[in-house]
Structure formats: structure tokens, C-alpha cells
């Protein structure tokens, strides 16, 4: 199966195998958000869903070995 290298640009895999990804819906239209909501969504979040983890591992191929 062909690996999807674009996923490597969107997620970060830690040394311990955690998958970190950016929060969705944070691109634009943030004027109405308060500052606490902006700061909460700014960083990377851990992907804890086991189903997503399995899909990411399959898509990354050899690049996702330690997931």
C-alpha cells in the first residue's frame, strides 16, 4: 500500500508513540472567540482515539512504526 506522507506534515509522533495533532476549526473567523478559547486551541492535542491511531499507523507505513 502506498504511504501517505502528507500525514507526517499534519501530525507529530513523539518518542513514546503518542500522536499529536492540531485542533480543527482554528484557521480563521476567530474574532468572536474569547482569549481563553484561543489559547486552549493553540497547541497540539494528543490523539487518543484507538480507531484513528490504527488508521494513522496504516497510512504512515514504515514511518509510523512506534505508534
Domain borders along the chain are 1-23+39-67
The pLDDT value recorded for residue 31 is 93
pTM of the model: 0.74
- The model's pLDDT over 30-63, given as tens digits with 9 standing for 90+, comes to 999 999 999 999 989 998 888 988 999 899 888 8
* 20 compared with 63, residue with greater pLDDT: 20
Name residues whose C-beta falls within 8 Å of residue 38's C-beta, 6 or more positions apart in sequence. Answer: 30
**Where are the strands (E) in the chain, listed by range?**
11-13, 19-22, 44-46
* 50 compared with 2, residue with greater pLDDT: 50
Q: How far is the C-alpha of 57 from the C-alpha of 38, rounded, in Å?
A: 30
Amino acid at each position: 500500500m502506498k504511504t501517505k506522507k502528507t500525514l507526517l506534515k499534519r501530525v507529530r509522533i513523539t518518542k513514546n508513540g503518542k500522536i499529536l495533532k492540531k485542533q480543527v476549526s482554528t484557521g480563521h473567523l476567530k474574532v468572536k472567540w474569547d482569549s481563553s478559547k484561543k489559547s486552549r486551541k493553540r497547541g497540539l492535542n494528543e490523539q487518543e482515539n484507538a480507531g484513528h491511531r490504527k488508521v494513522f499507523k496504516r497510512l504512515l507505513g514504515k514511518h509510523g512504526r512506534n505508534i
